[in-house]
């Protein structure tokens, strides 16, 4: 299933990406890539640098060095607006919601629908919000309330809805199901399958190794800011992946990175 | 705790009263929810009415007169204008301590422009002087505000520090404009912005304006209802719509009636009659003030700023930044540019407030607006703007300005000493914020 995929130009290539905060090398010479219709899982302990790496792709941080290519062409991603212009949408681990405004305002934040008088078209935004949220979380009805009054799962649904609202070509999901119940988690799984079938590339960060083996095509494991290795899910066992995460040992089924022990 | 012999029946009565009160609260709660009116805003109106009625009783009916209410509206205008902008500043977790000084500085500049430069260029008494002056002030205000905003947004210097510096710098600059001399007299048209018998629009225009305002309210309400219908969203019950319309129009028409019930002083009428060859009839001639020009300016500022805050992208970004600056940035909002624009708007409002205040005094002095930054911040906060950011309404802040001016005027009317007035205003500010935290804790 992946053989034909790899013949094509990668959707995303991140090469030798480094960034440090003060003296801390949060990410060091990390390389990952992503093909259309592919799900790549990023794994690693807390503090391994997963969120930092994807925040460089989403424009939240500026890298110190390294190259990002989108569809084979070098991309200038200096801020979140740049990333969005490449079709990159992100569900942040912290959700990044403006707590004091409602779901629709969050969904359209930065890209509001306007009436022909160039004023906010709140009714149209709410209607679209109801449509998208209805697919993710059919019981959700609290469209008038500020999102700070919503439950953790509902807030996560809002963050997910925002990422899929604008036809992302590249979707970054940083622990998207952390606050969801089993039913909503399953729905996110279906959503990912659906996006794959439409050729969307997905970076998925998750702690649930079962989920990862179920949804991902490839896994990239990070440790201490470096990539331990990358491999296809069918070439790896769960124990081997755990070994990569915990010991930084790259098994024969995976391609080692600079962080391999 | 009161264990008397008659305890049992007392308690029964109390319980019944309690139940009735609970029912009433639940019913009114439902009614307000049906009308989708902010209960907090209603609380402020109630507080204002209590203050007004209280002062009226204490002063033996001298507070709730057309004359006093009209003056109150004029005196509130300049802080109300400033408060409309301060809301946006505080909503984004910033502060602007420079507004009092900046408005003094801009008033001085406008004073010199209209009294010294423009008469030489355009000719003394030229009808465009007031407008050119005002535009010069607005432009300079936008530039100065933009400069402060740039330092805050792009150089990441805390707003508190930048505007504290601004407080000192612009107060000093206000002195430098004329080396401390008061500028007077001002242009005869410019001073109409300050109110007074001539600086009010008269009864006919007031009624016309009130009617137009009512019409606008009804049309807006109908448009909102139609939009909701179109998207199949639930709408308010018809009785709630009707009640809201009636309340809104009633308030507008009532305010117009009060403004029209305040007549020109006899001396002004005599002057006017002499100048216009009008013969005053035997019973005297009653000429209504109508709404004062500075009040119109403040109301216009309030309407425009409310529109900006609620119906534009910029306004949405202001609130989103206040709720979570990082989230706004990650969503692609240019948070720095938005912040800088807020301070530019604040500068423009300082020019308007400076024009209104100097026009009212018919002179520009370098101490004008001293401490207004604190009154403005207090008005915004009393009006429900949260210092933690993310929440606040323009209308609330304007009501806050009116409330504080009501306290000052009422105490002057009662003959309280100035120091005691400050004590009371200070205590009210603290109490209002305390009540608000209680309210928020209960509302969740
Ligand atoms: N904004 C920041 N400032 C300073 N240090 C940071 C910042 N963001 C991340 N780090 C550090 O970078 C490392 C990687 O963090 P992160 O990318 O969040 O890990 P993960 O998402 O894999 O749990 C951690 O040591 C963290 O403390
Ligand atoms: Mg993380």
Q: Which residues surround ligand 2, an ion (CB under 5 A)?
A: A 51, 93
User: How many Å apart are CA A143 and CA A128, to the nearest integer?
Assistant: 11
pLDDT of residue B363: 96
Domains and CATH numbers, chain B: 67-196+292-444 (1.10.3470), 201-288 (no CATH)
pLDDT at A255 over 90: yes
Judged by CB atoms closer than 8 Å, whether chains meet at A97 and B231 is answered as no
> Which-ligand-closest: CA of A54?
1
- Give every residue of chain B whose pLDDT is below 70, as ranges: 1-10, 20-37, 443-444
Confidence at residue B24, expressed as pLDDT on a 0 to 100 scale: 66
| CB distance A49 to ligand 1 below 6 Å | yes
Does the beta carbon of A44 sit less than 6 angstroms from any atom of ligand 1? yes
Q: State the ipTM, two decimals.
A: 0.92
List of residues 6+ apart from B79 with CB closer than 8 A:
B353, B372, B375, B376, B379, B401, B404, B405
Of all residues in chain A, the one with the smallest CA distance to B388 is A100
For the Cβ of A26 lying below 6 angstroms from any atom of ligand 1, the answer is: yes
Distance CA B135, CA B142 (A): 10
User: In the prediction, which pLDDT does A175 show?
Assistant: 93
Q: What is the predicted pLDDT for the residue at A137? A: 84
Please give the Cα distance from B219 to B246 (Å, whole number).
Answer: 13
How many beta carbons lie within 10 A of that of residue B238, not counting itself?
Answer: 9
Q: Which domains does chain A carry?
A: 5-87+169-256 (3.40.50.300), 98-165 (no CATH)
| Ligand 1 atom with the shortest distance to the CA of A53 | 17
Give the gap in angstroms from C-alpha A194 to the nearest C-alpha of chain B. Answer: 24
Q: Over the stretch A18-40, which tens digit does the pLDDT of each residue have?
A: 999 998 999 999 999 999 999 99
As a whole number of angstroms, the distance between CA B334 and CA B336 comes to 6
Going by C-beta distance under 8 Å and a sequence separation of 6 or more, which residues neighbour residue B8? none
Work out the mean pLDDT of chain A and round it to a whole number: 93
- Cβ(A137) to ligand 1 under 6 A? no
**What residues in chain B have their Cβ under 8 A from chain A's Cβ atoms?**
227-228, 230-231, 233, 310-313, 315-317, 319-324, 326-334, 390-391, 444
Q: B29 exposed, middle or buried (CB, 10 Å; 0-12, 13-18, 19+)?
A: exposed
Q: How far is it, in rounded angstroms, from Cα A226 to Cα B360?
A: 69
Q: Could you tell me if A37 and A200 are in contact, meaning their C-beta atoms sit under 8 angstroms apart? A: yes
**Residue-level pLDDT at B35:** 60
Q: How many CA atoms lie within 13 A of B15 on its CB side?
A: 6
Minimal-distance CA residue of chain A relative to B229: A123
CA of A46 to the centre of ligand 1 (A): 9
A:106-165 residues touching chain B, CB 8 A cutoff? 109-112, 114, 118-120, 123-124, 126-127, 146, 148-149
Res A1: pLDDT: 45
What's the burial of B258, exposed, middle or buried (CB within 10 Å: 0-12/13-18/19+)? buried
Ligand 1 within 6 A of CB of A50: yes
pLDDT value of residue B6: 46
For residue range B157-177, what is the model confidence (pLDDT) as tens digits? 999 999 999 999 999 999 999
- With beta carbons less than 8 A apart as the criterion, state whether A80 and A59 touch: yes
- Between A74 and A8, whose confidence is greater? A74
pTM: predicted TM-score of the whole model, two decimal places: 0.91
What pLDDT, on a 0 to 100 scale, did the predictor assign at position B29?
A: 63
In chain A, DSSP assigns E strands to 12-21, 24-34, 39-43, 65-70, 73-74, 88-91, 170-174, 201-205, 218-223, 226-232, 254-256
List CB contacts (< 8 A) between B332 and chain A.
79-81, 84, 109-111
Contact A112 B320 (CB under 8 A): no
Q: What is the pLDDT of residue B224?
A: 87
- Region A127-132: mean pLDDT is 93
pLDDT tens for residues B252-306? 999 999 999 999 998 889 888 889 888 888 888 899 999 999 999 999 999 999 9
The ligand placed nearest to the CA atom of residue A176 is 2
């Amino acid at each position: 299933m992946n053989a034909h995929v790899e013949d094509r130009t990668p959707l995303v290539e991140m090469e030798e990406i480094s960034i440090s905060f003060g003296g801390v090398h949060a990410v060091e010479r990390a390389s990952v890539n992503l093909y259309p219709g592919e799900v790549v899982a990023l794994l690693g302990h807390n503090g391994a640098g997963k969120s930092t790496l994807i925040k460089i792709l989403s424009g939240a941080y500026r890298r110190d060095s390294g190259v990002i290519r989108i569809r084979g062409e070098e991309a200038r991603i200096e801020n979140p607006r740049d990333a969005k212009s490449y079709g990159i949408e992100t569900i942040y681990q912290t959700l990044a919601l403006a707590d004091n405004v409602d779901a629709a305002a969050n969904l359209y934040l930065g890209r509001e629908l306007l009436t022909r008088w160039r004023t906010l078209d709140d009714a149209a935004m709410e209607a679209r919000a109801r449509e998208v949220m209805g697919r993710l979380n059919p019981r959700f009805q609290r469209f008038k309330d500020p999102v700070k009054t919503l439950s953790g799962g509902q807030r996560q649904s809002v963050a997910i809805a925002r990422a899929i609202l604008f036809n992302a070509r590249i979707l970054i999901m940083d622990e998207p199901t952390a606050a969801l119940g089993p039913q909503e988690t399953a729905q996110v799984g279906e959503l990912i399958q659906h996006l794959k079938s439409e050729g969307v590339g997905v970076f998925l960060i998750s702690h649930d190794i079962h989920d990862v083996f179920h949804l991902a095509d490839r896994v990239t494991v990070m440790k201490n800011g470096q990539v331990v290795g990358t491999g296809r899910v069918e070439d790896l066992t769960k124990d081997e992946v755990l070994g990569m995460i915990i010991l930084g040992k790259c098994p024969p089924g995976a391609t080692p990175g600079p962080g391999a022990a | 705790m009161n264990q008397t012999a008659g305890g049992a029946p007392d308690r029964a009565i109390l319980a019944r009263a309690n139940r009735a009160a609970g029912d009433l609260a639940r019913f009114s709660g439902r009614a307000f929810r049906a009308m989708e009116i902010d209960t907090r805003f209603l609380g402020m109106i109630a507080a204002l009415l209590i203050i007004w009625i209280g002062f009226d009783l204490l002063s033996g009916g001298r507070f709730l007169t057309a004359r006093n209410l009209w003056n109150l509206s004029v005196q509130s205008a300049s802080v109300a204008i400033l408060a409309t902008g301060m809301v946006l500043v505080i909503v984004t977790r910033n502060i602007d301590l420079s507004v009092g000084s900046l408005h003094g500085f801009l008033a001085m500049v406008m004073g010199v422009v209209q009294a010294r430069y423009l008469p030489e260029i355009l000719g003394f008494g030229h009808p465009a002087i007031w407008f050119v002056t005002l535009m010069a002030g607005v432009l300079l205000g936008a530039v100065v505000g933009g400069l402060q905003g740039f330092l805050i947004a792009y150089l990441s210097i805390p707003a508190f520090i930048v505007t504290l510096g601004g407080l000192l710098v612009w107060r000093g600059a206000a002195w430098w404009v004329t080396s401390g001399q008061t500028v007077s007299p001002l242009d005869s048209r410019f001073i109409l912005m300050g109110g007074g018998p001539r600086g009010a629009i008269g009864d006919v225009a007031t009624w016309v304006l009130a009617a137009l305002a009512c019409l606008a309210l009804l049309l807006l309400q109908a448009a909102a209802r139609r939009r909701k219908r179109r998207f199949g969203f639930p709408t308010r019950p018809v009785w709630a719509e009707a009640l809201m319309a009636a309340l809104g129009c009633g308030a507008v028409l009532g305010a117009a009636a009060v403004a029209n019930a305040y007549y020109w002083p006899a001396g002004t009428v005599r002057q006017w009659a002499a100048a216009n060859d009008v013969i005053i009839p035997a019973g005297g001639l009653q000429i209504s003030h109508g709404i004062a020009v500075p009040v119109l300016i403040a109301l216009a500022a309030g309407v425009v700023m409310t529109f900006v805050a609620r119906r534009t992208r910029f306004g949405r970004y202001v609130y989103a930044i206040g709720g979570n600056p990082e989230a706004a940035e990650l969503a692609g909002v240019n948070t720095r540019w938005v912040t800088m624009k807020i301070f530019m708007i604040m500068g423009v409002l300082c020019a308007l407030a400076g024009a209104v205040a100097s026009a009212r005094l018919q002179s520009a002095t370098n101490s004008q607006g001293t401490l207004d930054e604190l009154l403005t911040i207090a008005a915004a906060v009393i009006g429900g703007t949260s210092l933690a950011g993310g929440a606040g309404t323009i209308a609330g802040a304007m009501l806050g300005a009116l409330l504080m001016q009501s306290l000052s005027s009422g105490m002057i009317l009662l003959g309280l000493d100035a120091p005691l007035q400050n004590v009371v205003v200070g205590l009210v500010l603290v109490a209002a914020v305390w009540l608000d935290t209680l309210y928020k804790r209960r509302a969740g």
